[in-house]
Structure 1
Amino acid sequence: MNRWSNVFLGLVMALGLGACVREKLPDCPPMQVTLTVKDKNYFNIDDAVKLGLAERKADDLPFRDYIHTLYYVVHDAEGRVVAEQKNTEVTGDAQTQVVSLPVELPYGTYTVTVWGNMKSEEPLGDNPTSAELEETGAAFNDVYLASGTFHYAYGKENHELALERTKGNLLIKAEGIPDNIDFSTKEVSDIYAVIDAAFRYSGNTRISTELDWDARNEMQSNTLMCPSPSYEGSTLGVTFIDKSAAAAVGRAEVESAVLKPQDVHITMGRNEITILKYVYNTAEDGFNIFLRVNDRWEQIHSMVVD
């Protein structure tokens, strides 16, 4: 082998040792969805604050101060579940949460559905894209929902999804109630029961609650529930009770320990506080009932006790 052959062979060996040979390509950047909170306060929170009935939440609190649990499910374009996170407590002080999809998912179209503030997945049943909001795990919870369809491709890995409140808040205040009253019940009939990922409500149910009063003469209650199916499409009935007297006299004479105002029709709205005030008039032995409309009180009923 001549001198020039040796030089050529040496150059080839040097290039071979110094070159970078990639044996495996890195994974594509995974699809990520950043979760934010859209409904941090009710639409009419300022009026409730003005009345001293509620407090406005700051807009820069940690995510968990608005939503403390998260469940999500991801479907591909054919409707198959490709990723799921069971109901999990939100921790840390970050103002957003990030859903990272598995790196092995191929490019394509995916639908992400997220539920917040559920106690469990029980309200979802066999279909995680709809929930029975008045069932165990969701009843009386401030449930949030978001769903979006995203195209996952190179350069389109990052997306954003804002969660919205699914229920409204029924706020009732009672004033001038006789000293012996220390307990109340409430029933709301004809409200929606089910919501799907597209924020379509369906079904019909009723809610019943009971409340032991901490203070006499005045009472305030807050109850989370689905919207009404139509304007004034729900019926509210409230009963004020002297609990000890009612227990003593028995069922046959229980009316002597009970004040029962007239039932009224109300409209519950999503992310809205429906505010009513029951004012007992001792002279008339009856109730005046007021509804808060456009930042002012409107009387909707005046009557004697049944």
Structure 2
Amino acid sequence: MNVRLVHNFCMVVLLILISSCIREDLSDCPPSQYEVKVSVKDKNYANSNSFPQLSPVDENAPFSSFEGTVYYILSDAATGNKVKESSLSAVGGADQTYTISFNDVPDGDYTLTVWGNMTAEYPAGVLHQDGKEHTDIYMATRMLKLGRDYKTVEVPLERMKGKFLLLCNNFPSTVNRVEQTVSHVYQSVDANKNYSGSTEVDKSMTFQPVLQTFLAPTSQEGVSKLKLSFYSDAATTPFLDLPEMDLFVKRNEISAFSVDYKSGDGVLEISSFINGEWTVLHRLGIE
């Protein structure tokens, strides 16, 4: 067969194959692959510098230092219909971002919602359920326009809770347990960062000078209520039962109380960190 004829034949076949992938119907073309880089925006709390009792976290630490799991939903932007949903994936490695890839999604406009630190027990958006603290939940939502001009984007996760810090000073060595209840905190948050529901969180802790709890922001009632009881050994009656106090919890901020048992002075002093400074709320007599 003439070499020129073979060459021309191959060129015709190649042109036919190329044209099949640029015609209006793209069903015969290999799917495009799109990538999203998920990062962490809120690492240290916004006011963490006010609390020397807590060591700052390394802002350059790996993604896995902040997020133990990742879960995402990709939805059609126009209809809200779910297009892709991931499994709950454990995170590891030393990278500072987590890569999500789509390789079988038609071109179009989508909404991507990513959750960090979810667990299998509760659905996405649940901050507290069954009176439990749960985890340090993160979330981000981003609009994506998938198509030929798409470029990899970064989606920074934001913390959905605050932290309650309880500082305990000068307590007798016999005190070994703290029972804590915080009421009127939000129960859930949606993909648009709208909080809803109101619940209380109960926590039993081994006594330590520094105690920490992940809490959703104060709910629509406008003020959370804090109840603290301190126990010695296996006693069922509290060694110290404090009056209910107001607590204000904000997203990505630390709220703090200090309880100082000054037995030498016969005084129990309770302070709250308000507007950037410690304010004494109660001075109670003790025997």
TM-score relative to the length of structure 1:
0.81
**1:232, 1:266 within 8 Å by CA — same for their partners in 2?**
no
User: In terms of mean alpha carbon deviation, does 171-180 or 66-75 score higher?
Assistant: 171-180
Do the aligned residues in 2 keep the contact of 1:236 with 1:266 (CA within 8 Å)?
yes
Deviation at residue 18 of structure 1 after TM alignment: 5.4
In structure 2, the CA distance between the partners of 1:27 and 1:113, relative to structure 1 (3 Å rule), is same
Q: 1:262: how far off?
A: 2.1
Per the alignment, residue 84 of structure 1 pairs with 85
C-alpha displacement of 1:149 = 1.7
Of Structure 1 and Structure 2, which has the larger fraction of its residues in helix?
1
Which of 32, 41, 44 is residue 41 of structure 1 equivalent to?
Answer: 44
Secondary structure in structure 1 of the residue aligned to 2:64:
helix
Partner Cα separation in structure 2 for residue 189 and residue 166 of structure 1: 17
- Render the CA deviation track for 1:98-124: whole Å, top value 9, x for unaligned: 111133x2111111111111121x422
Q: Deviations over 1:230-250 (max 9, x none)?
A: 696001111111133x25xxx
Query: 2: distance between equivalents of 1:155 and 1:301?
Result: 62
1:242 aligned onto 2:232 = yes
Q: Does 1:298 align with 2:271?
A: no
* Residue pair 1:168, 1:274 contacting (<8 A) in 2 also: yes
1:180-195 alignment runs, 5 A limit = 180-195=174-189
Partner deviation per Cα, 1:197-216 (whole Å, 9 max, x = no partner): 111111010111112236xx
The equivalent position to 1:31 in structure 2, one of 28, 34, 39, is 34
Inter-partner Cα distance in structure 2 for 1:111 and 1:139:
29
Q: Which residue of 1 aligns with 2:262?
A: 281
Count of paired positions:
274
RMSD value over aligned CA atoms? 2.4
Match of 1:261 in 2: 242
Q: 2:134, 2:164 → 1: CA distance?
A: 11
Partner of 2:8: 16
Contact 1:63 1:94 in 2 (8 A): yes
Counterpart amino acid of residue 271 in structure 1: N
The 8 Å contact of residues 168 and 258 in structure 2, kept in 1 or not, is answered as yes
Structure 2 residue aligned with 1:113: 113
The separation in 1 between residues aligned to 2:243 and 2:222, in whole angstroms, is 15
User: 2:26 matched to which residue of 1?
Assistant: none
Counterpart CA distance in 2 for 1:285 and 1:21 is: 95
Contact residue 69 and residue 91 of structure 2 kept, 8 A: yes
5 Å-filtered alignment, 1:63-212, equals 63-76=63-76, 77-103=78-104, 105-120=105-120, 122-124=121-123, 128=124, 131-135=125-129, 139-212=133-206
1:6 paired residue number: none
Structure 2 equivalent of residue 271 of structure 1: 252
Q: Which amino acid aligns with 1:85?
A: S
Q: Which runs of 5+ in 2 are unaligned?
A: 22-28
Say whether residues 1:223 and 2:217 are aligned partners: no
**Contact kept in structure 2, 1:35 and 1:99, CA below 8 Å:** yes
Tell me how far apart the structure 2 counterparts of residues 55 and 282 of structure 1 sit (CA, whole Å). 29
CA drift at 1:31: 2.5
The SS at the match of 1:182 is strand
Contact conserved, 2:32 with 2:103, CA < 8 A, in 1?
Answer: no
CA distance in 1, matches of 2:248, 2:221: 5
The alpha carbon displacement at 1:150 in A equals: 1.5
Amino acid at match of 2:61: L
Deviation at 1:133, TM superposition (A): 1.1
AA in 2 matched with 1:117: N
Q: Structure 2 counterpart of 1:171, which letter?
A: L
Identity across matched positions, percent: 26
- Name which one, 1 or 2, has greater alpha-carbon Rg: 1
Q: Distance in 1 between matches of 2:222 and 2:284?
A: 20
Q: Which runs of 5+ in 1 are unaligned?
A: 1-8, 248-253
Q: CA deviation at 1:178?
A: 2.5
The one-letter code of the counterpart of 1:269 is: K
Q: Does the 8 Å CA contact 1:168/1:226 hold for their aligned counterparts?
A: yes
C-alpha deviations, 1:142-169, integer Å up to 9, x for none? 1110111211121124222110001111
Cα offsets for 1:237-287 (capped at 9, x unmatched): 11111133x25xxxxxx3xx5211222101001111112100113256442
Amino acid at match of 2:90: E
